[in-house]
Chain A
């Protein structure tokens, strides 16, 4: 990547000065587009998705064969009509027989083409959606550690691009059965009609084959280059749009324009090159067709003159010649489709094969809503990488109705505690108990229903405010939603929005401020009405006015619930019934504010640094120990 940028920089045209430190747009390195042509395992996996539709597929193949057969037969009928129905002295009804045969052929052709295209088209769409659904469902169950390390964009390109290339593959592979049959059929029929003439004309076929073999790799490179410059130019345009305020604020328009011109020019150049390569095949195919037809005329014509060949055969030959380059063209294209499909198939199966680490036990208990709401950690050892535990023998208990604040510097293991209660991950040693049950003995579904979680970064979905507050509790009434919003103090600003609770939120709630989004996510947790509330306080700076609302809402939210709050703000911490201080994965002290202050360990040290939020404290001031900095 750095190297790439380096070359880009030296590309910039010189106007006397040294090149600027500037680029426009960025470029993602494309994934492997082409795989092996044929991979048995992948075919097997894909077949599993096609299997439910296999009757339709076989029917489609039958229709393709019937369709192809008609393509072959129609010139033969014309040949028959000419040779037997149109010669002097031919009986009238021979022509009528031929016409009747023709009529039947085109009706079969009609039905077959209809059936084939409908079946193939629909099955390919169905399979596409099935594969996508299977992946999506699977992603709902795989461990969060997989999701954490995988970019959403990458998964999306699996769910879209790769799935689409499978669809393309399915469509064309059924059709290529037709192409192969047509090619073989044409060769067979021509040889059958006249072996010598057939052989002579068919000699043009391997020539085309060889030419295409040489042409294809070059063409593919050139098409890929065109595709790439296209996405580079598009990326630069997108950047200009998204960053337009920075561009204008820094007055970069002229430099950007000059740099963009280079990208647009490269795009033009590669496209022209690709067009040249694509078009060069046209005269080659036309020349070969011309040669084949000329051969039929000279050699075949002479034999017709000598009565050694029926004129109808010559006509049929001329018809076949006009068709027989088509299957070669589509088959060579099919080759690329296959390769692309195998690469995509590989990536799809990679996703489908991500193991599901966290599963319900076969005899898992359903956590009853009547449980007491206690949370307990018993000697918990846990690490995302078992070799480097994030939590080391942590034990504590949160009693029903109690609010506990988790406090500690970044990386102390606070967030991990939160994830373990919800069983996002499994502990390596010890156990986490909710309502007295080991979370591993409960169904994930029932556990989730009893734990409401508010994340640090409030995440909202596209949809109305109402839908967002209600979220998965689709049976919550409008009144309940409004009540929740009022309780957390979100009602006023919601009512100020153009359509109140029915106002649509932008992408991820982009039209709301962070504080407002936080309040909506509070309301959402309130509607979920769970026994236990796990909350990660927002660290980002929120203006004081909203901050006040949030503090009030928090009190409301914790009413009558067991609360576990990862707290950053002193105000929140001091409200808690108990404070648990973590450092480097170990619980170092716990108690209420007064007790901890007396303890004169980490907590009192942090507190005495006099920051309004623990997150403001620079790392170097925390490191180095337990000794209180009290003077």
Chain B
């Protein structure tokens, strides 16, 4: 159901709640060849959708490597010309003219190589950035549209990893994997042909380092990548230790647990350091071995080539062009590992990214779904049953039926875990019911468009998310084109206005994660104002006044009474004073409605509601008089 999990969590942005990241981090098993291939093909097809840029990049790669290959040849020729070998017995001036021609050709080749390398690099990066842009948008849109059940099952840090790191892995594919592969094939292919056709033995010696270096480099890169992922996990642990220590510094001090914390820190730190040293070892062992093998090849070329020069079989220029060719080839061959790594990375990252993009959206519009039309404003639950996808065998709601008419307030109360919030979440179709149906004015909510439904049904959540922007923008979140009057009015109704006016920039004050921090009650008032902006036909308070004091809540309630006649109000709460006034109160237990009626009726029933009431009202007041 959820995406196959992830390698790392981004430290900079991950925050919020959810299960422990350590528990959720799991490696993707190396994708099978077939699957890997199909992912690589899919990325390649994305690149081909930018035909011009792709052709420029690939074309320039061919031309640039062509000029690159001319340079050793020209250098060799110049050396021979300088020795008068090519010019033969012709005059000194002829030889000088010949040198001048070679020099000009060399200069031209260098300039053109530079220009085409620039074109190659720029366009291959550009293709990558365009792919990155498209994927970023797709990813954003998909994440916004995926249903609650999906978001419940996936750690937010994991989604961030997909949207940032995996996307990067796919984006880099074109320039570091594909174009580099073309470059290497051309350089080694044509270069080998030129060398081998000039002198078979010397050519073989000059190329002898290529397989070894290519192999070492690939092995090293793959190992470094594996250990990198491991290191990130260990650093993640270290980060968590530090973050929790600093965040919980009062607890640490309260228990005088500094030593304990340092022990934790040292263990995590040592664990990471060990691997960091190990990685240095892997890297160094390989680069040194690669260097050595390159120089050994060079030594062999010098030896055999030198003897051939003495024997008159080749010229010094030819030998020099072999040596130059080797230096030119050295870098790209050493980077072979990067290319192999880029393929591996693109295939695993792509698997996760496309896994997300291809994910089915559980709650979506039926084809050609009509808009919800509100006539009488009647909400009905008809025998509704529901189980969360994470626990399908264990239904949260069973046979829930009730009706609410415009102007009515329905209170829902019950012990924790009874399913009262779930009822609230079904009305705007955050989840789809399993059995039964929910209708608004006779229209099954599954049959109307989500957009129209969610404009008509608004849930104020207990712990609502505030966006890091101005208060004004937060209130107008659902209706960004609203005018200032309406914003102020909603804010007044939610008993927020006076507080906001006292802030340094009043409605322009930035709140949220990185702004002014609001208290729980202020946050809840803000989210009530935000909900009021939508003028919903059904308004659901999901325990969303818990942090607001009773007096303010009372004021909010009376302020909203003006509009309450236009809508159905549903109040889910554990504090009875929040819903005592409701027209009907449902007492929910283990997913069923066990008692219903008005406050007085329920009290008279002497059942569960009564018990809860007795628990909540102030105990004996006899002390007062005593």
Contact = CB atoms under 8 A, between A and B. Distances in A.
A507 to B, nearest CB: 6
A617 B552 CA distance: 10
Given A17-B481, A290-B110, A315-B316, A506 B18 contact: yes
A385 interface: no
B92 A305 contact: yes
Interface stretch (B320-328, B394-402, B590-598): B320-328
B486 to A, nearest CB: 11
A2 B114 contact: no
B148 A245 contact: yes
A241 B139 CA distance: 11
Interface string A280-291: 101111110111
A290 B109 contact: yes
Interface stretch (B295-303, B344-352, B369-377): B295-303
Interface stretch (B94-102, B201-209, B215-223, B380-388): B94-102
A534 B253 CA distance: 13
A252 interface: yes
Contacts of A528: 255
Contact of B615 (A109, A231, A240, A544): A544
Contact of A286 (B113, B273, B287, B298): B113
A210 interface: no
B100 to A, nearest CB: 6
Nearest to A607: B624
A7 interface: no
A35 interface: no
Interface string B137-161: 1011101111010010000100110
18 contacts: A18-B481, A21-B481, A86-B306, A95-B306, A237-B160, A250-B477, A253-B141, A256-B140, A260-B137, A271-B125, A275-B125, A286-B114, A318-B320, A528-B255, A544-B574, A546-B416, A574-B623, A615-B549
Contacts of A28: 514
Contact of B262 (A140, A252, A290): A140
Given A18-B481, A257-B137, 18 more contacts: A2-B510, A82-B306, A102-B295, A144-B250, A237-B136, A246-B461, A278-B121, A279-B125, A286-B111, A287-B111, A294-B103, A319-B324, A422-B254, A448-B256, A472-B259, A506-B20, A541-B547, A594-B623
A248 interface: yes
Contacts of B95: 305
Interface in B265-317: 265-266, 269, 272-273, 276-277, 280-281, 283-285, 287-288, 291-292, 295-296, 298-299, 302-303, 306-307, 309-310, 316
B99 A301 contact: yes
A121 B114 contact: no
A452 interface: yes
A593 B620 CA distance: 14
Nearest to A132: B269
B464 A246 contact: yes
Contacts of B272: 129
A110 B114 contact: no
B280 A125 contact: yes
B470 A304 contact: no
Contacts of B619: 571
Interface in B317-362: 319-320, 323-324, 327
Interface stretch (B187-195, B239-247, B435-443, B558-566): B239-247
B473 interface: yes
A256 B18 contact: no
Interface stretch (B176-184, B452-460, B599-607): B452-460
Contacts of A295: 103
Contacts of A140: 245, 252, 258, 261-262
A234 B162 CA distance: 11
Contacts of B82: 297, 300-302, 304-305, 311, 314
Interface residues of A, number: 165
Interface stretch (B26-34, B126-134, B403-411): B126-134
The 10 A-B pairs at the shortest CB distance, nearest first, are namely: A448-B256, A290-B110, A286-B114, A20-B480, A283-B114, A26-B468, A453-B254, A250-B478, A121-B280, A510-B17
B117 interface: yes
A243 B465 contact: yes
A592 to B, nearest CB: 10
Contacts of A448: 253-257
B79 interface: yes
A286 B110 contact: yes
B280 A240 contact: no
A247 interface: yes
Given A125-B280, A241-B159, A507-B21, A543 B530 contact: no
Contact of A5 (B291, B327, B469): B469
Interface in A110-138: 110, 113-114, 117-118, 121-122, 125-126, 129, 132-133, 136-137
A150 to B, nearest CB: 9
A298 B103 contact: yes
Given A268-B129, A297-B78, A462 B276 contact: no
B248 interface: yes
Contacts of B251: 453, 455, 459
B550 interface: yes
A252 B256 contact: no
A106 B115 CA distance: 34
Contacts, number: 461
Contact of A110 (B249, B292, B476, B549): B292
Interface in A463-481: 471-472, 474
B75 interface: yes
B163 interface: yes
A5 B480 contact: no
A113 B458 contact: no
Interface stretch (B8-16, B35-43, B44-52, B579-587): B8-16
A616 B551 contact: yes
B123 to A, nearest CB: 9
B285 to A, nearest CB: 8
| Of listed B99, B240, B251, B281, residue having the most chain A CB within 10 A | B251
Contacts of A623: none
Contacts of B103: 293-295, 297-298, 301
Contacts of B508: 2, 5
B63 interface: no
A445 B256 contact: yes
A627 interface: no
B513 interface: yes
Given A136-B242, A250-B478, A276-B122, A257 B141 contact: yes
A459 B244 CA distance: 9
A110 B163 contact: no
A109 B289 CA distance: 11
A14 to B, nearest CB: 12
Interface in A354-373: none
B121 A249 contact: no
A133 B269 CA distance: 8
A497 interface: no
A235 interface: yes
A593 B621 CA distance: 12
A239 interface: yes
A571 B118 CA distance: 76
B505 interface: yes
B367 interface: no
Contacts of B616: 544, 612
A95 B310 contact: yes
A78 B306 CA distance: 10
Contact of A113 (B133, B287, B327): B287
Contact of A242 (B15, B111, B273, B327): B15
A411 to B, nearest CB: 14
A2 B505 contact: yes
Contacts of B253: 144, 422, 424, 448
A472 B514 contact: no
Nearest to A257: B141
A449 B256 contact: yes
A265 B44 CA distance: 22
